[in-house]
Structure 1
Amino acid sequence: METDGQGVYSVLTRNDVGKKMKSEINQISEVFSLSKSDATVILISFRWNSFKASDRLGDDKEKLMGDLDQENLVSTPYCPHKFSETCWISYLNNLLENNKEEERVLCPNPNCVASVGPDTIEKLTKPAVKEMYERYVLGSFVEANKESIKWCLAPGCEYAIERHEDLMEDDESSLDFGVVCFCGHTFCWSCKLESHRPVTCKDASVWFSSILDTLKNNAWLVENTKCCPRCNTHVQRTDDLVLRMITCICGFALIS
C-alpha cells in the first residue's frame, strides 16, 4: 500500500483489499463465535455493514441466525438441497462469470434462496471455482464500500484505490481529484474519466463526448470516403465492390 504525495488516497493491491475484508470477517467471527463462513454470509447479507451486523447479532444472535435460516439467507449447510460436485462446478462457473457483486450466490435449487458460503466452496476441488468465488466475495466487499474504495479502471489492472476517510467531505467538488495508479492509469475519482482538474466533471464529460464523436466521425470518414489528392475533400465511396471512377467537386477523377 502506498499513498500519494498529498495523502488524499492510497493505491491498494488486491491482497490489501482482501486483508481489509478478512479483518471485518475475523472480527465478526471472533466477537460473536461464528464460523468465518457464517460471518462472511452475514456480512454479505448486510452489504458489509459490520455495525448493523454487530447490532443485530448483539441484540439476539440466536434469533438472527434463526431468522436467516428461516429466510434462507445463510450458507447452504442450512438448506437440505444436495448436488454433485460436477453440478456445483457447472452451476458456479456459469453464475460467477456474470454475477454482479451486489447479488448473493444462491443454492442451485431454483426454489431455494439459501446463500452459498465459503464452507460450501471449500468442499469443491476445482481451484478455478474457488478463485472465482473469492473474487466474487472481494468484489462484493468493494461494491459495498464504493464510496471509499474503487478498482483501477485500466483493463487487467489488479490494483484498487482507497480514498482516505478523514478527507471525506459532503462537497462534491472536493471529490474530483485525479488518481494515479501504480499501473500508470490516471482517472478522476468522482466521474472516472481521465483526470481533468481544474475543469469540472460536467464540463469534462461534455468535452470527452465531443472528442469521442469526433473520433467516430473520423473513423467513418476513413471507412466510407476517399480523400481527393487535389483539394483534400472527402468523397464518399460507392456501396458496391466494383471499382468505379468518382469525380470530386473540384473536378478531379479518382477511383472509389
Structure 2
Amino acid sequence: MSDFESDTMDEDDFDYSQEDEEQDFVFEPVIPEKDIKRSYDVEYKCYSPSDIEKIQNEEISHVCNILGCTKENASTLLRHFKWNKERLIESYMENEDAVKKEAGVIMDVKEPKLITVPGFSCDICCNDQDNLLTFALSCDHRFCADCYEHYLTDKIKEGESRYITCAENCNLIVDEKAIQLLVKPEIYQKYKILLLRAFVDDHKSLHWCPYPNCENAVKCLITKAQLDTIVPTVECSSGHRFCFGCGLKDHQPAICDVVKRWLKKCADDSETSNWIAANTKECVKCFSMIEKNGGCNHMTCRKCKHEFCWICLGPWADHGTSWYNCSRYEEKESVDARDAQTKSRQALERYLHYYNRYANHDQSAKLDKQLYEATEKKMEVMQKSSDFSWIQVQFLKSAVDVLLKSRATLMWTYALAYYLARNSNATALFEDNQRDLEMAVEALSGLLETQITPENAAELRQTVLDKTEYVNRRRQILLSDTAAGHLEKRWEYSF
C-alpha cells in the first residue's frame, strides 16, 4: 500500500454526524441595497391620506374612552392641544372646566338639528318668515340655516377648519356633525381635507411631501435642535426625496442653515447679475463661442478641436487621475490684501469659484435629465443590436439615476465648501472626497453619451456597470464622512 493510500479513509469510515455538529453553517439574509441603513440616513415612515385618517381616528377614539365624551368633542379638544394627548389629559384632569372653556367645548349629548321657532327673526338677514329653519349650538345663539350655511362655507373656503366658532363669535366651536348638517356635500369634503391637513401641520414629527400634487406625508423624529448636525433626507412613497427639516429638495451633505444662507446669497443680484445669464464660453485657443449641450464637462471645440474643461477652461489632458484640482479653490496671497477693494475682489472671486461649480452641476443635472428621457430609446437600440434582454439593459437607467443623485450631492458640496473654514485636515479630506466623486461623475457622464454599436455593446455595458458602482460608492463615502463630521462637530464655518 502506498503512502497516499494509507492516509485515505473509505466513505463508510467518515463520521458525517460529527462533522455536521462541528460545522453549523448560518447564512446571513441578503439585504437589498435600498434597505441598508447608512450613517447619513435617518429613520422615517411614509403615510398615505387614508393612513393619516386612520391614525387621527385612533387618537380621537382613545381620548373618547378616557374622557367619556363624544368623538366631536374629543377631536375639538385634541385640535386645541395640537394633538398632544398627554398634555390634554393631564390638563383636563387638573381643571376640567377651564380646559373646556378655553377649547370652546360644552360636554352635552345634544344632537345638532334644524328646527323652526315660532316668531323667530334672524339677526343676520332679518328673515322672520314662518316655518324658517334655524340652527344654534349649545350656546343658543340662533340664526337661520341659510345664514349659518353661508357663514360656514365662507370660513371653509378661506381654508379654516380647526377653530370655526359660533356665528355670534362666541368661543364655542362648531363641530364636525354640525358642519355636515349645514353645508353642501362638496364643502363638507373640503372641510374634511382641511382637517386632515391641519392634523399633519399640528404634528411636529409629521410633514407633507412638498412636491406638487403629492398627498403623502412622512413621519420623522428629528427636532430643530438636531438640524445643526443632521441632514434629514426622507423619501415619500411616490419616490420624492426632500429634507424633512426645511422642506427643500434633498441637499445632502449641507445642513439646513448652510443651505438657507447659500440660497440667500445666490439670490443677491449684485454678485451674480454680470454672469449668471451667460450660457456660452469662448474657446481658449481660437476664441469661438461654444454652447454646452450635454452634462459632461469635457469640451471639444468644433473649429480648432481643442479639448478643455468647461469649468476651469484648462486643458482636458490635465484632468486625469494624477491631477484634478478643478473642484478646489486655491487661496491667493496678495501684497495688497489690506486694501478694501482688493479684499472685496478676492471675496467675489472666491464666491464665483464655488457658485460656478454649484450652478454647473445644477445645469448638468438638467441636461442629464434630457439624457434620461432618451435612455429608454437607447435601451431599445441596445436590446435590438445585441443579445441582451430588456432586464439586462436596465443598467442604463440605473446609471442615470446614480448620476443625477451624485450631481445633486456635488452641487451642495460646493455650497458647504464655501462656508467651511479651511483650517484642518478634515477640510482637505472633504475636498479630496469631493474631487474623487467629481472625477467619477464626469467619467460616467461621458460613458453615457457614448454611441452604442453591436461591436461595443457588451464591453460598454460592463464598463458602465463598473463605473456606476464606483460612482455610487464614492458618493456614499463622501456622505458618510461628512455626516460623521457634522455629528462630531468637526466642521468649522466662516459665516
Say yes or no: TM over 0.5: yes
Q: Could you tell me the TM-score, scaled by structure 1's length?
A: 0.68
Where does structure 2 lack aligned partners over 5 or more consecutive residues? 1-33, 107-135, 279-287, 290-495
* Higher share in strand: 1
1:72–1:79 CA contact under 8 A, matched in 2:
no
Q: Does 1:178 align with 2:233?
A: yes
Q: Does 1:119 align with 2:177?
A: yes
2:83–2:202 CA contact under 8 A, matched in 1:
yes
- Give the match for residue 155 of structure 2: 95
TM-aligned CA distance change 1:95 to 1:175, over 3 Å: farther
Q: Does 1:50 align with 2:67?
A: no
Structure ranking higher on relative contact order (CA contacts 8 Å, 6+ apart): 1
CA distance in 2, matches of 1:150, 1:9: 11
Q: Does 1:159 align with 2:190?
A: no
2:76 corresponds, among 41, 50, 64, to 41
CA distance in 2, matches of 1:77, 1:96: 18
Q: Does 1:144 align with 2:202?
A: yes
* Structure number with bigger Rg: 2
- Give the match for residue 24 of structure 1: 59
CA displacement at 1:35 relative to structure 2:
0.5
In structure 2, the residue corresponding to 1:78 is in which secondary structure? coil
* Higher share in helix: 2
- Paired positions, count: 210
CA displacement at 1:73 relative to structure 2:
0.9
CA displacement at 1:114 relative to structure 2:
1.5
Where does structure 1 lack aligned partners over 5 or more consecutive residues? 223-230, 233-256
Q: Does 1:129 align with 2:184?
A: no
- 1:191 maps to a residue whose letter is C
CA distance in 2, matches of 1:118, 1:100: 13
Using the aligned pairs only, state the percent identity.
25
Deviations 1:192-224 (A, max 9, x none): 12111112223323444466667x969x979xx
Deviations 1:93-142 (A, max 9, x none): 221233467x5111122x42211111212313521222222223223322
In structure 2, the residue corresponding to 1:179 is in which secondary structure? strand
TM-aligned CA distance change 1:172 to 1:117, over 3 Å: same
Give the ranges of 4+ consecutive aligned residues of structure 1 lying more than 6 Å apart after TM superposition: none
CA distance in 2, matches of 1:72, 1:15: 27
- Give the match for residue 491 of structure 2: none
Q: Could you tell me the TM-score, scaled by structure 2's length?
A: 0.38
CA distance in 2, matches of 1:13, 1:115: 28
2:149–2:183 CA contact under 8 A, matched in 1:
no
1:9–1:161 CA contact under 8 A, matched in 2:
yes
2:235–2:242 CA contact under 8 A, matched in 1:
yes
1:92–1:129 CA contact under 8 A, matched in 2:
no
In structure 2, the residue corresponding to 1:123 is in which secondary structure? helix
- Give the match for residue 243 of structure 1: none
CA distance in 2, matches of 1:59, 1:204: 45
Alpha-carbon RMSD across the aligned residues, in angstroms, is 3.3
- Give the match for residue 143 of structure 2: 83
- 1:90 maps to a residue whose letter is H
In structure 1, the residue corresponding to 2:46 is in which secondary structure? strand
TM-aligned CA distance change 1:60 to 1:195, over 3 Å: same
CA displacement at 1:158 relative to structure 2:
0.9
CA distance in 2, matches of 1:162, 1:55: 25
